[in-house]
Structure 1
Amino acid sequence: MQFAIGTTNKPKSAAIEYVLSTSPYTGGATYSNHKADSGVPDMPTTLQELRTGAKNRAVYTRRENPDADYYVGMEGGVYQDSQGEEYWLIGVVYIENSTGQGYYGYSCHLRVPDAVIDGLFDGQQRDLEQVVHALGGEANIGDKQGSYHAWTDGMLSRREQFIMATQCAIAPFFNMFYQK
């Protein structure tokens, strides 16, 4: 079983590696990483942009690497709740098989700190990494432990964010309850 992953990001790749090595469905599966365009802004700020970005990455990866069995797109960003009260950080994963059937998975949602929201929407068009760094956080956190790690004092990480989302996206392909 071969997975083609539409990312070269280390924490996202580590999440895939973990899921493939621990899932009851994917014993012996291998994966390869590929750069894939999301077709959405670098800093997605709506749930639709996050879903679109994840799916676009999977579809692009499938088009460029047609010999895999499964194609994975991953997108992280923030979105505002339907009441317009709070912003949430989330990871979205879309997995598509070789026949075009696909499923989404989502990570847990972590409330975005007000200072970060202010920095994201202050008109300077900065992405999440830039805002967190400007507020005193580590540079390039998206390639490291991520905002989850920074905002939970290490209780969660970017890798864990995408582990959960990947597990949620892969289960419908194999779990018996989805097959009935």
Structure 2
Amino acid sequence: MRVGIGSQNPVKVTATEQAIGPLPGATVDPVDVASGVPDQPTGLAETRAGAETRARRAYDAGGFDLGVGVEGGVASLGSDDLYLVMWAAVTDGDRVELAAGPSIRLPDHVAARVRDGEELGPVMDDAFDRDGVARDEGAIGVFTGGEVDRTEALRTAVAGALGPFVTSHYG
């Protein structure tokens, strides 16, 4: 089985490889595609749309059995707080399945900067004097004290979206 992941980001690629891992003979190939949403997706719908667009575009790149898209964003989730959100989509060219990863509240000083139009990744690097948080443990890793890292969070989202394709539980 050949799987295209709609990103060159090593964290997203590794998360997809780990979710696909139990499938015999499966390979994962990164495909550079645009998400169709802003660099900092805002809201659940926009974040989901980015994941779905990445999955469709990866699949359409050709020769893949499945296309995977992963997108991280921020959303208010019905409160004044701002949360990190993440979505994964998997498509076989006919149907698209979606699943979410964990969400975590952003600290006020980070949320304020994101609300002012900055992208979360660079804010994390600056606010925590780091380099490449988005390609390493992610905001979720920083805010859980390393208990959950970005790869694991995204892996669970990809595994959830993959479930209907690899189990008989969805009919």
Q: TM-score range by the shorter chain?
A: over 0.9
What residue in structure 1 maps to residue 7 of structure 2? 7
What residue in structure 1 maps to residue 88 of structure 2? 93
Query: Secondary structure of 1:133's match?
Result: helix
What residue in structure 2 maps to residue 20 of structure 1? 20
Query: Secondary structure of 2:145's match?
Result: coil
**Counterpart check, 1:160 vs 2:141:** no
Query: Secondary structure of 1:41's match?
Result: coil
Q: 2:139 aligns with which of 123, 147, 156?
A: 147
Runs of 4+ in 1 over 6 A off after TM superposition: none
Residue type at the aligned position of 2:162: I
CA distance, structure 2, for counterparts of residue 136 and residue 165 of structure 1:
26
Task: Measure how far apart 1:92 and its partner are.
Answer: 0.6
CA distance, structure 2, for counterparts of residue 7 and residue 31 of structure 1:
11
8 Å CA contact 2:13–2:28 kept in 1: the answer is no
What residue in structure 1 maps to residue 102 of structure 2? 108
- TM-score normalized by the length of structure 2: 0.94
- TM-score normalized by the length of structure 1: 0.90
CA distance, structure 1, for counterparts of residue 129 and residue 140 of structure 2:
12
C-alpha RMSD of the superposition: 1.3
**Counterpart check, 1:59 vs 2:53:** no
Query: Secondary structure of 1:66's match?
Result: coil
What residue in structure 2 maps to residue 48 of structure 1? 45
CA distance, structure 2, for counterparts of residue 143 and residue 105 of structure 1:
21
Residue type at the aligned position of 2:83: W
Residue type at the aligned position of 1:70: L
Query: Secondary structure of 1:31's match?
Result: strand
Aligned length: 171
**Counterpart check, 1:176 vs 2:168:** yes
Query: Secondary structure of 1:71's match?
Result: strand
Show structure 2 runs of 5+ residues with no match: none
8 Å CA contact 1:38–1:54 kept in 2: the answer is yes
Query: Secondary structure of 1:89's match?
Result: strand
Percent identity (aligned): 29
1:99-144 Cα shifts (integer Å, max 9, x gaps): x21100110111111111111123xx31001212222242221111
CA distance, structure 1, for counterparts of residue 129 and residue 120 of structure 2:
11
What residue in structure 1 maps to residue 119 of structure 2? 127
Task: Measure how far apart 1:7 and its partner are.
Answer: 0.6
